[in-house]
Amino acid sequence: MQQATAPGKIILVGEHAVVYGRPAIAAPVWGTVATAILEAGAPGSGCLIKASDLGTCMRLRDAGDEDPLATLTRLVLARLGITGEPDWQIELHSEIPIASGLGSGAAISTALVRVLFAQAGVEADPAVVSALVFESERFYHGTPSGIDNTVIAYGMPIWFVREQPPEPFSPSHTFLLAIADSGIRSPTKETVGAVRRGWLADPARYEARFDAIANLVRQARVAMEAGQEEALGAIMDQNQERLAELEVSSPQLEQMIAAAREAGALGAKLSGGGRGGNVIALVTESRASAVRRALLSAGARRVLFTIVGGAAS
Ligand code: MEV
C-alpha cells in the first residue's frame, strides 16, 4: 500500500492579478489535506480511481479525456514510463472543501501524482509534480496562473510570478491567520472568467487595478520580512478593496471580513477566487478566539488557524 498527502493553500495577497503576470504570495495549509491511497488490485482488474468526495468512481480504461483525474493519471503513467494499465485501486479523499478557494482540486491532483510516483519508486520532485498538476488544473479553471499547483506541490510559502520558477519565501517571523469558510461554493473558473470579461471590456482600467494589487504584494513581502504585523494587516485590507473593485467579493464575505476586523483582526480579505469560499484574517494570539467567535456569528461554517513563516510553515 502507498499513501500520499497534499495540503490546502491560501493566497495571502495578489489573487486574480497573478493571472495577468503580477506577483502573489501564497502559503500551504497543512491543517486541511487531501490524501491518496493506492493498493494493488487483482490481476486483470485494471486501474480503478475512486474519489468519494467528488462522487467519482471510474475505471481508467473507461474514462474519457474530459475527466481531469483520468487524464492526469494517464499523463503520470506516461511520464513514469508505465505502459499498459496497471492493476491498482486508488482512493482519493479530501478534507478541503471543494470550490472554496483553498485549492481542493490541485491538492487532490497533487496527492494522486505523489502516490503514483511512490508506487513506481520514483522520487517526486516538486517542480515535476507541479507541472503535471498544472495540466489538470486547466480542466478546473480554464486559465490558471499556476499558483495553486505550485504552492501545494512545494508545500511552503512562495512568492509567485506566472511562468517563472517560484521563490520559496519563508520569513523568520510568524503570522497567525484565521481561515473562515463562508460555506458558499464558488468555482474559480467562474470568477477568473468574470474578471477576464471585465478586462476584455476595459483593459486599461483593469491593468491599473492589477498594478495597484502588485504594489500591495511587494509591500506585503517587505512587511512580512520585517515582521510588521500591523502593516501586513493594513495591506490585506487594501487588497480586499481592490478585489471588491474587481467584483469578486460578496455581501456574505464582506460581513465576515467586517466582523473579523471589529473583533480585533489586524486585517482581513477574501482568499482565492472569491464570491464565496474562504476569508483570511490576520490575528494576534490574544484576539484569535474573539475573531473566531465573530466569524462564526457572521455566518462562517468553520474556522481554521494556520501559521505562515518561521519553522511552522
Ligand atoms: C485561485 O486560487 C487564484 C486565482 O488568482 C486564479 C489563479 O491564479 O489561477 C483567482
Question: Does ligand 1 have an atom closer than 6 angstroms to the CB of 16?
Answer: yes
Query: Quick one: which of 108, 109, 110, 112 has its CA closest to 95?
Result: 108
* % residues pLDDT > 90 (the chain): 87
Which tens digit of pLDDT belongs to each residue from 26-84? Answer: 999 999 999 999 999 999 999 999 998 888 899 999 998 888 899 999 999 999 999 98
User: Ligand 1 in contact with 273 (CB < 6 A)?
Assistant: yes
CA of 219 to the centre of ligand 1 (A): 20
**Residue 43 gets which letter from DSSP?**
T
Cβ proximity of 107 and 33 under 8 Å: yes
The residues spanned by each domain of the chain are 2-167, 171-308
| Residue 259 pLDDT exceeds 70 | yes
Q: Name the residue at shortest CA distance from atom 10 of ligand 1.
A: 273
Which numbered atom of ligand 1 lies nearest the CA of 17? 5
Centre of ligand 1 to C-alpha 44, Å, is 41
- Nearest atom (ligand 1) to Cα of 146: 9
Residue with cell 513563516: 309
In sequence order, what are the beta bridge partners of 28? 9
Gap from CA of 14 to ligand 1 centroid (Å): 9
pLDDT at 86: 95
Instruction: Say if domain 171-308 classifies as CATH 3.20.20.70.
Output: no
**Fold of the domain built from segment(s) 2-167:** Ribosomal Protein S5; domain 2 (3.30.230)
Number of H helices, E strands in the chain: 9, 11
Q: Please tell me if the CB atom of residue 19 comes closer than 6 angstroms to any atom of ligand 1.
A: yes
CA distance 139 to 256: 30
C-alpha cell at 140: 478546473
The rounded distance, in Å, linking the Cα atoms of 94 and 225 is 32
Please check whether residue 181 is in contact with residue 301, taking contact to mean a CB–CB distance below 8 angstroms. Answer: yes
Choose the residue to mutate in 96, 148, 240, 269 for probing ligand 1, maximizing ligand atoms within 8 Å of C-beta.
Answer: 148
What band does 159 get if pLDDT is binned at 50, 70 and 90? very high
pLDDT, residue 36, reads: 98
Pairing of β 2-13 and β 56-59: unpaired
Q: Is 145 a pocket residue for ligand 1 (Cβ < 6 Å)?
A: yes
Give me the pLDDT at residue 312, please.
47
Residue 20 has pLDDT above 60, yes or no: yes
Q: Are 8 and 104 in contact (CB under 8 A)?
A: yes
What is the pLDDT of the chain when averaged over all its residues? 94
Burial, 278: exposed, middle or buried (Cβ in 10 Å; 0-12, 13-18, 19+)? buried
pLDDT at residue 202 in the model: 98
With a 6 Å cutoff on the Cβ, whether 14 touches ligand 1 is: no
* Arithmetic mean of pLDDT, 190-205: 96
Residue 139, pLDDT score: 67
How far is ligand 1, taken at its centre, from the CA of residue 25, in Å?
11
Cβ atoms of 168 and 157 within 8 Å: the answer is yes
Instruction: Name the residue with the closest Cα to ligand 1, atom 9.
Output: 144
Locate the ligand 1 atom nearest the alpha carbon of residue 137 and give its number: 9
Q: Which residue is it, cell 493553500?
A: 9
Non-local (6+) Cβ contacts of 311 within 8 A are none
Convert the pLDDT of each residue in 116-137 to its tens digit. Answer: 999 999 999 999 999 999 988 7
For residue 8, how far is its CA from the centre of ligand 1 (angstroms)? 13
Which residues partner with 92 through β-bridges? 36
63 vs 264: CA distance, rounded Å: 50
- Rounded average pLDDT over 86-90: 96
Q: Where are the alpha helices (DSSP H) in the chain?
A: 68-79, 104-120, 126-141, 147-154, 188-201, 203-226, 229-245, 251-262, 288-297
**Among the listed residues 280, 276, 269, 286, the one whose alpha carbon sits nearest the alpha carbon of residue 305:** 280
Helix 203-226 vs helix 188-201: crossing angle, to nearest 10: 130
